Chain A
Amino acid sequence: MLHALILILICQLLGEMAARALGLPLPGPVLGMVLLLAALVALPRLGLLVRPVAQGILAHLSLLFVPAGVGVVGHVATLGGQTGAILLAVVVSTVLAITVGALTFAAVARLTGSQDD
């Protein structure tokens, strides 16, 4: 568990350093994810090491958004008189984007004959 945690944190650390040093528009953890993916491809045995810890963290991924969500509650008031318009824009655009994204994926998958197992 210790080594898995070290590996994950080092990937994140390298990601943060690369994002800052190269001025990339991506956050460090996303680069860290790419790094860990590359490490797993290069050394598949690392998967055995990381798997229990990664699955442990990901099993409760939703929990990690709770603190930020609580912060949002206090700020909804700051939207002011435009609250209704903004909420409508958020909800409708989210429904549309999921619909368009999923239908496009399915349509192009059919066209290119890309099937799932």
Chain B
Amino acid sequence: MTDFAEIWSYLSQGPLLWLTATLCAYALGDACFRLAGRSPLVNPVLVAVAALAVLLHVTATPYATYFEGAQFVHFLLGPATVALALPLYDSLPRLRRALWPALAALVAGSFTAALSALAIAKALGVDGPVLASLAPKSATAPVAIGIAERMGGSPTLTAVLVILTGITGAVVATPLLNALRLRDWRARGFAVGLTSHGIGTARALQVHPTAGAFAALGMALNALATALIAPLSLSLIQQGIP
């Protein structure tokens, strides 16, 4: 009989083990989310990431090995982004009627995201490439990374900040918007997608279909807007204009 160490060394080389672990960790996160009465503070992504991080640490597995299995899940981000056309299409008549609110919220929200992050970071002594990596963090990851690179930021740091922004938005959105007494699902969804891109959109889809469609719209529009607003905000902050 083969001992466990040999089976482990065989399995840990292939993609099957970590693909299964990723799906199981997410199922665990989802179960915790349901057990907590769908509380937004128990975010399934956050639970799954924490569980997997502990597992990788305990088994001394490098991220590259993990990603060989997880890449199949990661790859689906592209097709999933394309598939967001469907909720957008379903809400098209309502989107047309909400053109001005959406454009106003886009400009106000996108500037707020970039300027407030840069102002806080600069006031606390952060500078240079880190500021450039921080400015586009509300855009979806591939867009944010491209923009940050053009401004002299770091792609890895930008990816980290984009994910942190997404998870923060997904966790705070529901309690925050309830405290603001906003009942318009369009406004709620749009602001969350605009600020926390795909992770926020995924959260909005769980909450309400209208919120999900407007979140997808907010994410898509802010991918465009950030390309202009992030460099502008960075130069404003660096020149010392508050």
Contact = CB atoms under 8 A, between A and B. Distances in A.
Interface of A: 5, 8-9, 11-12, 15, 25-30, 32-37, 40-41, 47, 50-51, 53-55, 57-58, 60-76, 78-79, 82, 84-109, 112, 114-117
B203 A25 contact: no
B168 interface: yes
Interface size class of B (residues with CB under 8 A): 35 or more
Interface of B: 22-23, 25-26, 44-46, 48-49, 52-53, 56, 63, 66-67, 70-71, 73-74, 76-89, 92, 94, 97-102, 104-106, 108-110, 112-114, 116-118, 120-121, 124-126, 130, 134, 137-138, 140-143, 146-147, 156-157, 159-161, 163-170, 172-173, 176-177, 180, 182, 184-188, 190-192, 194-196, 198-199, 201-203, 205-206, 210, 212, 216, 218, 220, 223-224, 227
B105 A104 contact: yes
A65 B75 CA distance: 10
28 contacts: A27-B223, A29-B81, A34-B220, A58-B212, A63-B23, A64-B76, A65-B166, A66-B22, A67-B70, A69-B48, A73-B49, A75-B160, A86-B161, A90-B134, A92-B120, A93-B112, A93-B137, A94-B196, A97-B109, A97-B110, A98-B177, A98-B192, A101-B105, A102-B191, A105-B104, A108-B104, A114-B101, A116-B210
